[in-house]
Structure 1
Amino acid sequence: MSKLTGFKQAKEVADKAKELNKKFAEGKEKAIEQEKALQAELEALRAEERDIYSAFVLDMVEESAYIQGKEISEAKQKQLLAVQSKINDIDELKKHEMVKLFNDYKKNVYPTFMKEKSENNKQLKDKLAEAKQEFLQKITDYAKEQYAWYEVEKGIEQIEVIGEFKQRSYIEPLQPYHMNYMNPKGDKLNIGTNELYAVFQRRGRNK
């Protein structure tokens, strides 16, 4: 698989998208934390500003002290607005970056990736067909081993029939599989279609 150019390029695109997603999520989380901190600071500054204003009205402090307190509150308010603007823009910026990334993928990677994917799917089906034949061959070998036991037991039973210990032969070779098996879940020996389906459903869970 290391030789597949389209696959490697598509994986790089997917990894880049994952990394971008992570960075934007972290940036948004950090900005939200900043927003909370600035809101708390601004609330405290405004309370202090009101106290200074009361003192100014009562001629307890100079006007410059009140103006300075107000300027500090306004500066903090600007900081808060900038952070809130960042929070509001993050999702749109992420969308913009993802659109650029996808358009580049669609133009430069997609055709090769889809061609390689089609070839890989065909190879997979060929491998599964081969695995099926190997499995059936193993079953055939095991069945032959078991049939040798049946033939010996059948020979003994024929003695019983000839010696009139039995009226006829009753022994049949072991058949562990069911004809026209309809249980999709399978059992200990019979493979159900749901079992095969589940193998591919689980394939990415234990990476």
Structure 2
Amino acid sequence: MSTTTPPRGLYLITPDIADDAQLLARTRPLLDSGAVTWLQYRNKSAGDAQRRRQAEQLLALCQAVGVPLIINDDLALALAIGAAGLHREDDISTLAQLRTALGPHALLGASCYDQPALAEAAVREGASYVSFGAFFASRSKPTTHRATPAVFQATASLGVPRVAIGGLTPDNAGPVVAAGADLVAVIGGVVDAPDPIAAARALQALFA
């Protein structure tokens, strides 16, 4: 899914929520607020049927407000519901294989941790955006890799949107945005905040 203006802002990732109604109730106001640039559906604990059901419901919400829905690590689900794209975390399928399956216009993201060389390879293989992290400790994205804002300076000529992820909040995301991050991917920094909509708007405002 290409645009003439590179996307910037909040890349919201859904938390693992078993109750469908609760997931929608927590996500809909954030989408309606206008503070979300992209939404990623990520649920590592649900079964296939529930993941399909939740993804379809989120897709309807996203389409209503013009926000692309990206599916985490499930090519079959992304294709089945007609999602805007896919984010790859595992290495079961190559990015080139995923690009062929998704077609030329879908969003295809790759986790590149703290490694600019990995991001360069990902773009050559068909990624339309890359993510770096974790920048801070994160319950949802535990990793031994710890990125710094310098990774954005090292990838300034990459030519695709670059995403920062890992423990980001309105209070600590400023330096990564200033360093060149095009989007900040957040779960807990928004959904666990005392006022999730205020947190989402504060993150989006960093890009103003």
TM over 0.5: no
Relative to the length of structure 2, the TM-score reads 0.15
Q: Which has the larger radius of gyration?
A: 1
Structure with the higher fraction of residues in strand conformation: 2
So what's the TM-score if we normalise by structure 1? 0.15
> Relative to total residues, which structure has the larger helix share, 1 or 2?
1
